[in-house]
Amino acid sequence: MGGDKPWPEVPVGNKDHTSAAVVIVGAGISGMCMAIDLIKRNNCRNFIIIEKSTGVGGTWNDNRYPGCCCDVWSLLYSYSFEQKPDWTREYPGQEEILQYLMTVAQKYNLYQHIRFNTTVDEARWDDEEKKWKTAVSVSGAKDAEFCPKYTITSDFFVSAVGQLNVPRYPIIEGLDSFKGKTMHSARWDWSYPLEGKRIAIIGTGATAAQIIPELAPSAKSLTVYHRTPSWVIPRLDRAVPPLERSLLRYLPFTRWKKRAWQMDFRESFFHAVTDHTSSFAEQMREWNRTKLRDELPERPELWDVLAPKYHPGCKRSVLSDDYYPALGRENVRLETRPIVGVTETGVRVAKDSFAYPAGFETEFRTEEEYDVLVLATGFRAVEFLHPIRVTGARGRPLAELWRESGAHALYGVAVPGLPNFGMLYGPNTNLGHNSIIVMIEAQSRYLATLIGTVLEARRKSEGRKTLALAPKESVTAEYNERLQRELNASSFADPNCQSWYKDDQGRITNNWSRNAIEYQELLAQVRWGDYEVEGDGAEVVRRKGEVTKLGRVVEETRVPDAVWMGLSALGTAALVGGMAIRWLPRLRAR
Ligand code: NA7
C-alpha cells in the first residue's frame, strides 16, 4: 500500500494485512496521540489501530449520556500540538470534544490505519520471533462474513484502552430481571424517550452529577440512589464569546497564555486533592459548605446527607453548579437506604439506612416502581486491559505478573516481563487535578522513543535483527515502592472512602502521586539502564549512551505577565491595523 516508500513509512496494505510494525489498541485520545507521534517522530505509518467501536474518540465516543461534558477547561483539554481556538464553552461538551477528535483523526489521515468493529481478544509475546501476536475478532457484520478472526504479528504492542473503558455493572440481586429500560451511562440509548418517565438512577459520582440535572426537568419522577456523597465545588462554566474566540485564533500567544493560566491553576489544585491539611483543601470544604446552603436553601435536611465525610480528593471531585439544585426539585427524591434488590418492576431498599445482609426478611424492605433504571456506576477502572488476555515472555500471563502486587508499571508505561509493550493512561497515571492529555502526551513521546529504537534495529538490518526492551524488575519495584509510599500519605488513601482509584485491597493503582509537571519531567528522558535489552539488534541501544533526552511540552507560565501584556497590545494593534488596511479601501469605494 502507499506506493514505493520503505518500511516502516508505508501503511499496512492488503498483502500484509496481518503484520505491522506497531499494533495500537484503541482509537481514543491516547491511541490517536500515539499514532500521531509515530508519524511525526518515527516517520512510521506501518501501524494498525484496533478499535472495538464504530468511531474514534474512545471515552468521548462511548459516553453520550445527557449532560456529558468534561470537567477540565476546554482549551487545556486538547492536544498541545492541535490546540482548538474556537471552543464554544469554557468546559467542553461531549459532542464538541468528539467533533474535535474526529477532525484531528482526519487531519493526520488516521482513518486508513483504524480497523473499526474489531476487538482484541489476546496478545501474546513470541519469544522465538521476538514479536507480538495479537488475536482479534471482527464484529462488523460484513467483514466478519469473510474473516471473523485473525492474528496480527507486530514488533511493538501499545495498549491505549485507558482506565475508563469497560462499564461496571453493579452486582445487585435481580438486576437482569427488570422489565423496564436499563441503561448504563456509557451505553446510552438515545432512541428511548425519557420524558414523563419514572426514572431511577444508581450512583452519585461525576457522571450521575451530570445526568441528573439533565433528566430531572422532564422526568415524571427521578429517584437518586445515593451511597457516598461527592465533594461538589463550583464549575462556573460560560459560553466563550465570538470576540474571545477570534483573539484566541488570530493571536496564538493569547491562547498559549490562557492555556498556561489554566495549567498553573490546575497544578496548584494538586494540593487540594492530595493534602487534606492544605489551605486549598480547606477552601474546597468551604466551597462545598456554601454551595449546599446556597443551592439547597429550603432543604436543610439534605445538608448533612450530602456533606462528604472523607478528605477532599479521595474520590473524584465533582464540578457542578446544577447538581444540588436538581436534587432540590420537587420531582427528585434522594434515596439513602441501601438497595437490596431489583425486581421486574422496580428497586427494593432496606426499610432504614442499616445495611441488611442479603436474604434478610422481605417485610423489612420497601419497593418503588420505575420505567427506567440508569446505572451511573462507573467503570472497571482497576482491571487494566480487561478483558484482553496478555501473555509476556516465557509464557507468563500479565494477570499472573500482577496477581500479588496489583497493577503496576514502570512510569505507568512499561511492564517487566512484557518486552516491546507500552501502555498509555496505564497504572498510576490518572490525575485528580489536571488534564489527562498532559500525561498522555508525555507517555506517547516516551513510548515513541522505545518504538523508534526497536524499529531502528530492524530497519538497519533489513529485518534480520530483532530487539526486545522490557523494564528491569528491580527498577520498576523501586519506582513503585516510592510511588506507593507517597500515595499512602495522600488524601487518596483516606480509609473513609472507596473509589475507582483503588483496588479491592485498598492499593491505589490508578493515580499518579505528584503533579503533572513532575510526571512530564520524569518522562522527558529515556534512561536505557532502566531496561533489559535482548536480541541481536542490541547494539542500537548501546550506541545511544545512557540517556536519550526527549524534552517535554511546557504548558505552565514561562512568559512573565508584563511581556504577555506587551505582546497582546502589539498583537491587537497589528490585528486592528490589518483589518483597517483590508476594509478601509472597500468602505471608501462604496
Ligand atoms: P464512579 O465515580 O465510579 O461512581 C460510581 C457511582 O456508582 C458511585 O456513586 C458509587 O457509589 C455508585 N455505585 C456503584 N455501585 C453501586 C451499588 N451497587 N449500589 C449503589 N451505588 C453504587 O463513576 P462515574 O461514572 O461517576 O465517574 C467515573 C469517572 O469518569 C469520573 O471520575 C471522571 O473522571 C469521568 P459509592 O461511591 O461506591 O458509594
CA 174 – ligand 1 centroid, Å: 20
Q: Are residues 371 and 387 in the same domain?
A: no
Q: Which one of 72, 91, 227 would you pick to mutate in the ligand 1 pocket, going by the greatest count of ligand atoms within 8 A of its CB?
A: 227
Ligand 1 atom nearest to CA at 204: 9
Judge if the beta carbon of residue 205 lies within 6 A of ligand 1.
yes
Q: Are residues 349 and 287 in the same domain?
A: yes
Residue 354, pLDDT > 80, answer: no
Q: Are residues 215 and 294 in the same domain?
A: yes
Phi, psi of 492 (to 5 degrees): -60, -25
Residue 84 lies in a domain: no
Dihedral sign, CA of 347, 348, 353, 354? negative
The pLDDT tens digits for 428-456 are 999 999 999 999 999 999 999 999 999 99
Judge if the beta carbon of residue 231 lies within 6 A of ligand 1.
no
Q: In the chain, what are the helix, strand and coil shares in percent, each to the nearest 5?
A: 35, 20, 45
Judge if the beta carbon of residue 228 lies within 6 A of ligand 1.
yes
DSSP 8-state secondary structure symbol assigned to residue 11: P
Q: Are residues 333 and 459 in the same domain?
A: no
Judge if the beta carbon of residue 510 lies within 6 A of ligand 1.
no
Ligand 1 atom nearest to CA at 208: 26
Diameter over CA atoms, the chain: 89
> What integer best gives the mean pLDDT of the chain?
94
Judge if the beta carbon of residue 372 lies within 6 A of ligand 1.
no
Judge if the beta carbon of residue 447 lies within 6 A of ligand 1.
no
Using CA atoms, how far apart are residues 486 and 461, in angstroms rounded to an integer? 44
Judge if the beta carbon of residue 500 lies within 6 A of ligand 1.
yes
Q: Are residues 179 and 41 in the same domain?
A: no
Q: Which one of 97, 204, 335, 504 would you pick to mutate in the ligand 1 pocket, going by the greatest count of ligand atoms within 8 A of its CB?
A: 204
Per-residue confidence band for 358, with pLDDT thresholds at 50, 70 and 90: low
Q: Are residues 239 and 363 in the same domain?
A: yes
- How far apart, in Å, are the Cα atoms of 561 and each of 49, 76, 139? 42, 19, 54
Residue 525, pLDDT > 90, answer: yes
Q: Are residues 386 and 371 in the same domain?
A: no
**What pLDDT shows up at residue 321?**
98
Closest CA to 257 of 520, 560, 552: 560
Judge if the beta carbon of residue 376 lies within 6 A of ligand 1.
yes
CA 355 – ligand 1 centroid, Å: 18
To the question of pTM greater than 0.75 for the whole model, the response is yes
Q: Provide the H-helix boundaries in 22-140.
A: 29-42, 59-62, 94-107
Closest CA to 348 of 339, 337, 359: 339
Ligand 1 atom nearest to CA at 375: 7
Q: State the Cα angle at 272 between 266 and 277, rounded to 5°.
A: 155
Residue 520 lies in a domain: no
The pLDDT tens digits for 205-226 are 999 999 999 999 999 999 999 9
CA 65 – ligand 1 centroid, Å: 15
Instruction: Give strand pairing partners of 494.
Output: none
Atom 25, ligand 1: residue with shortest CA distance: 378
Ligand 1 atom nearest to CA at 186: 25
Domain boundary at 346, 375, 404, which? Answer: 375
Judge if the beta carbon of residue 431 lies within 6 A of ligand 1.
no
Atom 18, ligand 1: residue with shortest CA distance: 170
Atom 36, ligand 1: residue with shortest CA distance: 228
Residue 280 lies in a domain: yes
Domain boundary at 438, 464, 486, which? Answer: 486
Atom 6, ligand 1: residue with shortest CA distance: 203
Number of Cβ within a 10 Å radius of residue 63:
23
Per-residue confidence band for 4, with pLDDT thresholds at 50, 70 and 90: confident
Ligand 1 atom nearest to CA at 381: 3
Using CA atoms, how far apart are residues 589 and 586, in angstroms rounded to an integer? 5
Judge if the beta carbon of residue 432 lies within 6 A of ligand 1.
no
Per-residue confidence band for 587, with pLDDT thresholds at 50, 70 and 90: low
Residues 184-203, mean pLDDT to the nearest whole number = 98
CA 378 – ligand 1 centroid, Å: 5
Q: Are residues 339 and 190 in the same domain?
A: yes
**Number of domains composing the chain:** 2
The pLDDT tens digits for 10-55 are 999 999 999 999 999 999 999 999 999 999 999 999 999 999 999 9
Q: Are residues 417 and 458 in the same domain?
A: yes
Residue 575, pLDDT > 70, answer: no
**What pLDDT shows up at residue 367?**
86
Pair 381, 510: CB distance under 8 Å? yes
Q: Are residues 195 and 313 in the same domain?
A: yes
Dihedral sign, CA of 67, 73, 76, 82? positive
Grid coordinates of 311: 478528605
Domain boundary at 432, 454, 486, which? Answer: 486
Per-residue confidence band for 589, with pLDDT thresholds at 50, 70 and 90: low
Using CA atoms, how far apart are residues 333 and 223, in angstroms rounded to an integer? 5
Pair 530, 475: CB distance under 8 Å? yes
**What pLDDT shows up at residue 20?**
98
CA 479 – ligand 1 centroid, Å: 30
Judge if the beta carbon of residue 318 lies within 6 A of ligand 1.
no
Per-residue confidence band for 1, with pLDDT thresholds at 50, 70 and 90: low
Ligand 1 atom nearest to CA at 497: 37
Using CA atoms, how far apart are residues 25 and 5, in angstroms rounded to an integer? 25
Judge if the beta carbon of residue 316 lies within 6 A of ligand 1.
yes
Residue 568 lies in a domain: no
Residue 94 lies in a domain: no
Residue 248 lies in a domain: yes
The whole domain housing 269 covers 175-375
Residue 267 lies in a domain: yes
Looking at per-residue pLDDT, the higher value among 445 and 360 belongs to 445
Using CA atoms, how far apart are residues 165 and 185, in angstroms rounded to an integer? 12
Judge if the beta carbon of residue 203 lies within 6 A of ligand 1.
yes
Q: Are residues 448 and 369 in the same domain?
A: no
Pair 420, 132: CB distance under 8 Å? yes
Residue 292 lies in a domain: yes
Judge if the beta carbon of residue 263 lies within 6 A of ligand 1.
no
The pLDDT tens digits for 296-346 are 999 999 999 999 999 999 999 999 999 999 999 999 999 999 999 999 999
CA 208 – ligand 1 centroid, Å: 8
Q: Are residues 192 and 283 in the same domain?
A: yes
Judge if the beta carbon of residue 224 lies within 6 A of ligand 1.
no
**What pLDDT shows up at residue 364?**
54
**What pLDDT shows up at residue 359?**
55
CATH value at residue 160: 3.50.50.60
Residues 189-213, mean pLDDT to the nearest whole number = 98
